[in-house]
C-alpha cells in the first residue's frame, strides 16, 4: 500500500478508503466508524455493491444503500488502486412539511384558475401580448408543480414512506412512448435510443417515468437543447440498467462530488434559473426504491452519463399493486417534468387540453 496515500486519507474528516485488487486495503477513522472497524480486508463488492465494484470509469459518483441509509460514494482511480470517499446525506428538506406543501398547491391551483380565465379574455380581445405573458405564467406554474412534486417525494423518502406501487410493466415501451411525447415539444431534439424490445420489469410506472424525465431534464438544462442525448436499456439476470448520456461540456472534476446535493442550483450564478437542484437527488431516491444504484460519470468537454440500475428483486418493504384505471397523464407529466427547459410557447391551450 502507498504510505503517502494512507497518510493523506488519515488527515481528512470525511470517510475515505483505499481499494486495491478488489478489497479495502486502508480505511481512515471516519470510514471505520461508518463501515465497521473490521472493514479493512473486506471485498469492495460486499461493502459497496456489485455496481460500484464492477464500474470501470476512472472517476464517478454513485449512490448506494448502507445500513438502510443512502450513502454517496465518490471514486477516483490512482496508480496504486482506487480511493473512495463516502458520506450519508440528510434527506429531509429543512422547514418543508406537509402543511407548507399544501399551501403551495392551493395557491398554485388558484393561480392556474385565474390564468385560465385571463386566457379566455385575451383570446376574445385578440391580445397577443397578454397571451404571450400567460404562456410564461403557465410555464412558471408547471415549474413550481415540478418543484413541489420532487420536494414531496424527498419528504416522503425522509420518512421512509415513499409511495411505491410496482407492477409488471414493459419498460421498453414506456421509454419509447415518453421519448415520442418529448419529441412533440422538442421537434429538433437529437436523441438516439437503444431499447431492447419488450424488456419487462416489475416497477412503479409513475416513478420510472419521473426518473427518466429528471435525467432528460438534467441533460437539456445543463448540456443545452442542441446536445445529442443517448438513452439505452441493458438487461442482466439481476437488474435492468437505464442509461442517459449527453455530449455537453460535462461537470468540472472539482464539482463532481456535489451532483447529488439537494438544492444544488447550478455551478455558477448564471445558472440560478436552471431548476431547484433536486433532479438527481430524486432520481437516486427512485432508484434506491427499486433496489438499485445510481452512478454518474462525467468528463469535461465530452459529456455526462447517468446509469440507474433497477433490481429485478424488489426490496422486502415494497408491495405489488394492481394497475389502476386512471387516464394517461403522459403529456402533463412531460410538461411538468421538463418545465425547467421547455420554451413558454409549449404552455398553450394546444397542449394544456
| CA 168 – CA 104 distance, rounded (Å) | 34
- CA 172, 166, 210, 297 dihedral sign is negative
Look at residue 318 in the predicted model and tell me its pLDDT: 60
pLDDT, tens only, 193-246: 999 888 889 999 999 999 999 999 989 888 887 889 999 999 888 899 999 999
328 band by pLDDT with thresholds 50, 70 and 90: low
| CA 12 – CA 108 distance, rounded (Å) | 46
Average pLDDT score over residue span 181-185: 88
273 band by pLDDT with thresholds 50, 70 and 90: very low
CATH tag for 167-352 (out of 2.40.420.20, 3.20.20.140, 3.30.565.10, 3.65.10.10)? 3.30.565.10
261 band by pLDDT with thresholds 50, 70 and 90: low
Average pLDDT score over residue span 273-282: 70
Q: How far apart are the first and last CA of the chain?
A: 64
pLDDT, tens only, 61-110: 998 888 777 888 999 988 878 999 998 876 555 567 788 888 889 999 99
* Domain 3-87 class, CATH top level: alpha beta
pLDDT at 309 over 90: yes
The closest of 35, 4, 50 to 17, measured between CA atoms, is: 35
Question: Nearest 5°: CA angle at 190, between 185 and 192?
Answer: 115
303 band by pLDDT with thresholds 50, 70 and 90: very high
Find all residues with CB under 8 Å of 53, minimum gap 6, and list them: 22, 43, 44, 45
Q: What pTM did the predictor assign? A: 0.82
Average pLDDT score over residue span 245-254: 87
pLDDT at 173 over 90: yes
Amino acid at each position: 500500500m502507498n504510505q503517502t496515500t494512507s497518510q493523506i486519507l488519515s488527515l481528512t474528516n470525511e470517510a475515505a478508503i483505499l481499494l486495491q485488487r478488489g478489497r479495502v486495503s486502508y480505511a481512515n477513522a471516519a470510514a471505520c466508524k461508518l463501515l465497521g472497524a473490521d472493514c479493512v480486508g473486506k471485498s469492495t463488492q460486499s461493502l459497496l455493491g456489485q455496481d460500484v465494484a464492477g464500474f470501470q470509469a476512472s472517476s464517478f459518483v454513485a449512490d448506494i444503500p448502507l445500513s438502510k441509509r443512502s450513502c454517496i460514494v465518490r471514486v477516483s482511480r490512482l496508480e496504486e488502486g482506487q480511493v473512495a470517499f463516502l458520506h450519508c446525506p440528510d434527506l429531509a428538506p429543512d422547514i418543508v412539511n406537509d402543511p407548507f406543501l399544501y399551501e403551495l398547491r392551493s395557491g398554485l391551483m388558484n393561480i392556474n384558475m385565474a390564468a385560465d380565465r385571463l386566457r379566455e379574455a385575451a383570446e376574445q380581445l385578440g391580445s397577443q401580448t397578454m397571451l404571450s405573458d400567460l404562456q410564461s405564467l403557465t410555464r412558471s406554474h408547471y415549474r413550481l408543480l415540478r418543484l413541489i412534486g420532487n420536494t414531496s417525494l424527498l419528504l416522503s423518502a425522509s420518512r421512509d414512506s415513499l409511495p411505491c406501487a410496482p407492477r409488471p410493466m414493459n419498460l421498453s415501451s414506456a421509454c419509447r412512448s415518453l421519448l415520442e411525447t418529448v419529441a412533440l415539444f422538442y421537434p429538433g431534439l437529437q436523441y438516439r435510443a437503444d431499447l431492447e424490445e419488450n424488456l419487462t420489469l416489475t416497477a412503479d410506472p409513475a416513478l420510472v417515468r419521473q426518473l427518466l424525465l429528471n435525467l432528460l431534464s438534467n441533460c437539456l438544462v445543463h448540456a443545452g437543447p442542441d446536445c445529442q442525448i443517448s438513452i439505452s436499456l441493458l438487461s442482466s439476470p439481476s437488474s435492468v440498467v437505464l442509461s442517459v448520456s449527453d455530449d455537453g461540456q460535462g461537470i468540472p472534476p472539482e464539482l463532481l462530488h456535489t451532483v447529488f446535493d439537494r438544492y444544488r442550483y447550478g455551478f455558477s450564478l448564471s445558472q440560478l434559473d436552471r431548476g431547484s437542484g433536486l433532479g438527481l437527488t430524486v432520481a437516486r431516491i427512485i432508484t434506491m426504491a427499486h433496489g438499485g444504484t445510481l452512478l454518474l460519470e462525467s468528463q469535461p468537454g465530452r459529456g455526462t452519463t447517468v446509469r440507474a440500475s433497477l433490481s429485478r428483486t424488489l426490496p422486502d418493504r415494497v408491495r405489488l399493486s394492481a394497475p389502476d384505471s386512471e387516464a394517461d397523464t403522459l403529456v402533463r407529466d412531460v410538461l411538468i417534468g421538463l418545465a425547467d427547459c421547455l420554451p413558454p410557447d409549449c404552455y398553450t391551450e394546444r397542449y394544456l387540453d
